[in-house]
Amino acid sequence: MVSTSGKATLTRHRHDFRLPIFDFRLKQICILDHKSRIEYQQFHRHAPMSRPSATDPDNSNGKRQKRGVPEGLWIQCDGCKATVYRKQIQQSLYCCPECNHHFYVPAKARIAQLLDEESFEEWFTNLLPKDPLGFVDKKPYKDRLKEEQKKTGLTDACVIGKGYMRGRPLVLGLTDSAFIMGSMGSVVGEKLTRGIEQATELKLPLVIVSGSGGGARMHEGILSLMQMGKVSAALGRFHDAGGLFISVLTNPTMGGVAASFASLGDITLAEPKALVGFAGPRVVAATVKQELPEGFQTSEFLLKMGFVDRIVDRQHMRTEIARIIDYCGA
Average pLDDT along the chain: 84
pLDDT tens digits, 137-192: 999 999 999 999 999 999 999 999 999 999 999 999 999 999 999 999 999 999 99
Edge to edge, what strands does the sheet with 16-23 contain?
11-13, 16-23, 28-33
Q: Give the residue-averaged pLDDT of 23-34.
A: 47
Residue 24 has pLDDT above 70, yes or no: no
Residue 69 has pLDDT above 70, yes or no: no
Write down the H helix ranges in the chain: 34-43, 86-91, 107-114, 141-152, 186-202, 222-240, 255-258, 281-288, 299-304, 314-328
pLDDT for position 281: 81
pLDDT for position 64: 58
Residue 3 has pLDDT above 80, yes or no: no
Cβ atoms of 256 and 184 closer than 8 Å = yes
Residue 20 has pLDDT above 60, yes or no: no
Bridge pairing between strands 28-33 and 121-122: unpaired
pLDDT for position 29: 46
Residue 244 has pLDDT above 90, yes or no: yes
pLDDT for position 13: 42
Per-residue confidence band for 54, with pLDDT thresholds at 50, 70 and 90: very low
Reported residue count of the chain is 330
Cβ atoms of 161 and 171 closer than 8 Å = yes
No. of helices (H) and no. of strands (E), the chain: 10, 12
Torsion sign, CA atoms 298, 299, 300, 302: positive
Per-residue confidence band for 45, with pLDDT thresholds at 50, 70 and 90: low
**Dist. CA 202–CA 157, nearest whole Å:** 24
Percent of the chain with pLDDT over 70: 78
Cβ atoms of 213 and 243 closer than 8 Å = no
Cβ atoms of 230 and 193 closer than 8 Å = yes
Q: Give the residue-averaged pLDDT of 125-134.
A: 95
Per-residue confidence band for 38, with pLDDT thresholds at 50, 70 and 90: low
pLDDT for position 315: 95
Give the CATH fold of the 105-328 domain: 2-enoyl-CoA Hydratase; Chain A, domain 1 (3.90.226)
Report domain extents, the chain.
Answer: 1-46, 71-103, 105-328
Bridge pairing between strands 158-165 and 168-175: antiparallel
Report the range out of 16-25, 54-63, 128-137 with the highest average pLDDT.
128-137
pLDDT tens digits, 247-274: 999 999 999 999 999 999 999 999 999 9
